[in-house]
Structure 1
Amino acid sequence: MLDIYLKECLYFTSSRISRIITKMAEEEFLKSGLSPTAAYLLMVIYENEGISQKQIGGILHLQPSTVTRIVEKLMAKGLVYNNVEGRLSLIFTTDKGKELEAIIHVCWNSLRERYSEIIGKDLADELSLKLELLSNELEK
């Protein structure tokens, strides 16, 4: 009976898949020397040089304190810097940070290929889109 409760529980099943995919992501992004979240944050900055921390949080659905912590770690590694304009802190990549862009994209592609080989590319894409829609609905 408990088995049925767990299989039918969105909380339990989503937590389980989160743990599995997080482990896979950590293994793939190890090559970059960054956590998956830090790598995704850098990807956002690559596409939006001079972005605010608030905008980063909105794009990645992260709390402001989490964005601040990750940006501070990236700054300590010399990968990003902030340019303060009044009350606004804008984030840019350094040359050292830009050098990681190619390896981060390799890690990202490797992660996608890894789980797509297991469940199939079409299902992986469909699940990602459906989970995005579900997340949006549940946040309302």
Structure 2
Amino acid sequence: MKDILRDIGVISRALDSISNIEFKEIDLAKGQFVYLVRIYENPGIIQEQLVEMLKIDRATASRAISNLEKNGLIIKKSGENNKKNKLLFATDKGEALYPFIIRENEYSNAVALKDFSEEEIRALTDMLKRVKENISNDWSYVKKGNKRIY
């Protein structure tokens, strides 16, 4: 079987490295842009939903959210029905960064898909979605305390 996860990992690390360098000028620390984008696109999201969406652990999400809040890029508000839930929103400062982050994302997509036909892009998108769903199922299984059998 072909080991596609190594290639996906290389792509992911390369793009993370690029964005961390390019986003330094807008004071976004390592990987924080992902959180800011998801919060901007999903106003009022709670941390638990962000954890599920990004497939990360709670501690990592908590640190990133705290840093974004400390830097004035997001705010937390108590939920009306559940005061324990802290709803996350981008501030004006955070919203102002969104177009820059999205331009970088669109550029990286264009570079990654250079010389691909529309049909190839559609097929790749469909296949990656299936891979993501497969991995998401395993992620959920393991996060619930289960062990995978190799």
Q: TM-score range by the shorter chain?
A: 0.7 to 0.9
The Cα of 1:118 is off from its aligned counterpart by 6.7
Where relative contact order (Cα < 8 A, 6+ residues apart) is larger, the structure is 1
SS in 2 for 1:81: strand
Separation of aligned partners in 2, 1:28 and 1:82: 25
Could you tell me which of 84, 87, 91 is aligned with 2:78?
84
Q: Which amino acid aligns with 1:133?
A: E
SS in 1 for 2:113: helix
SS in 2 for 1:100: helix
Higher helix share: 1
- Is the CA contact 2:74–2:90 (under 8 Å) kept in the aligned structure 1? yes
Cα RMSD (Å): 2.6
Q: How many residues matched?
A: 131
Separation of aligned partners in 1, 2:37 and 2:69: 15
Tell me the equivalent position of 1:23.
14
Provide the TM-score with structure 2 as the length reference: 0.71
Tell me the equivalent position of 2:96.
99
Aligned identity (percent) is 20
> Which range is displaced more, 40-49 or 118-127?
118-127
Structure 2: runs of 5+ lacking an equivalent: 142-150
Tell me the equivalent position of 2:145.
none
Structure 1: runs of 5+ lacking an equivalent: 1-7
The Cα of 1:64 is off from its aligned counterpart by 1.1
Residue 60 in structure 1 maps to residue 54 in structure 2: yes
Provide the TM-score with structure 1 as the length reference: 0.76
Q: Structure 2 matches for 1:42-57, cutoff 5 A?
A: 42-57=36-51
Structure 1 residues 88 and 133 mapped into 2: Cα distance closer, same or farther (>3 Å)? closer
Separation of aligned partners in 2, 1:101 and 1:48: 13
